[in-house]
Amino acid sequence: MKILVLNAGSSSHKSCLYEINSLHNIILPLKPLWEGMIDWTVDSNHGLLEVQANGKKNTFELPMDNVETGIKTMLDTMIKGENKVIEKLIDINVVGHRVVHGGKKYYQATFITEEVKATIKELIPLAPNHNPVHLKGINSIEAINKDIRQIAVFDTAFHCTIPDYAKIYPIPYQYYKEGIQRYGFHGISHQYVSQRMAEIIDKPLNSLKIITCHLGNGCSITAIKDGKSINTSMGFTPLEGLMMGSRSGSIDPAILTYFMREYDYDRDEIDQILNKKSGLLGISGISADLRTVLTAMENGDKQAKLAVDIYIHRIQEVIGSFLPSLGGLDALVFTAGIGENSAFIREKVCQKFNFLGVKLDKEKNRQFCIDKNIATDDSSVKILVIHTQEDWAIAKQCYNLIS
């Protein structure tokens, strides 16, 4: 079965083509036949597409003004050129999409129908950086052939186990009954890395107290106990919680009414400020990309340093707030683009938790450390860097649903 995964993030489009004949006795992820990745933030003038297949890697520049055209260009590399792996796109049996927000309606992988598309569209105000690009991905596949089956795998599903006291906001209860609650996001990633972590340290997942840090352009932290999500930093929308690339994360809600009263901002202007103009970009004034901000900091830029300091402080703050509900900590996991690649951020985050017995081995941290424990031998807490495999997790769910 050929399964294409489209994983649209707030600043990137990742895609993989898998061929799965059986999941029996498969523990580690299969290697994709083909991989494509579009980064929309690496350059202000164009998107960057990287494609890898047949042992060859190619790079293309894409215009910034049309996401659907970019997706089509990416998919076309599967059927022509050095990265060709299939004869025609309709040879794909199913396409699985990571969908950020499923609301209260969807808690499991679901075949995409017009009703599902309508729900994804209705939820755009709750995931404005994500749900629109999910729809563009779905529409791109429909434009190729409407008969190709498509499946939505929801990022909110893993967090359905969060208890009411952590899920319900302290506002009038009627709003909870109308769907306003903590949903949580990056669930596919948090679930995968927690399972992979248990395999690496060779302990049962249901015996562990874990905090997973998904740090990319979007950031979230999840407390996992007995294999289940019991709290997470993102909430009703992906805006709550940590400082992110261009998102503010949690702020005093009265700031919004102050914006309306003092600046006469309407809801669209406020939405733009909080989702597109805040976070690392808003504080540094330079970029939403941490790599660029860190370079500026190293060159003496004070606002860039402030942005990084706030970013680290917010991560530490959330980790600390989750400890009481876990009742201890067995493992701290870093994943996603920043979590996997920034030794500096990992070191700074861990520094404040020495009182817990968290001891980072700085030498291991600086080396290639994917899917490894980078804690010292006498650390009370395991510290792992795990390459998140959302695409593989989505592919497995698609295979199981069809099978």
Q: For residues 111 and 119, is the Cβ–Cβ distance under 8 A? A: no
Quickly list DSSP for 247-308.
---S--THHHHHHHHHS---HHHHHHHHHHS-HHHHHHSS-S-HHHHHHHHHTT-HHHHHHH
Of all helices (H) and strands (E), which one includes residue 324?
A: helix 302-326
Joined tokens for residue 181: 């609650």
Kind of pairing, strands 228-232 and 47-53? unpaired
Residue of 39, 65, 155, 226 with catalytic role:
155
Spatial distance between the Cα atoms of 93 and 208, rounded to a whole number of angstroms = 37
The DSSP call for residue 157 is G
Task: State the sign of the Cα–Cα–Cα–Cα dihedral 325, 329, 333, 339.
Answer: positive
Q: Is 155 a catalytic residue?
A: yes
156 neighbors 98 (Cβ within 8 angstroms): no
CA angle 165, 169, 171 (to 5 degrees): 130
Q: How far from 203 is each of 45, 116, 145, 226, 323, CA to CA, in Å?
A: 47, 38, 45, 12, 20
Please report which helix (H) or strand (E) contains residue 53, including its range.
strand 47-53
Q: How far apart are CA 146 and CA 75, in angstroms?
A: 16
Spatial separation of the C-alpha atoms in residues 340 and 374, rounded to whole Å: 12
Positions annotated as catalytic residues are 155
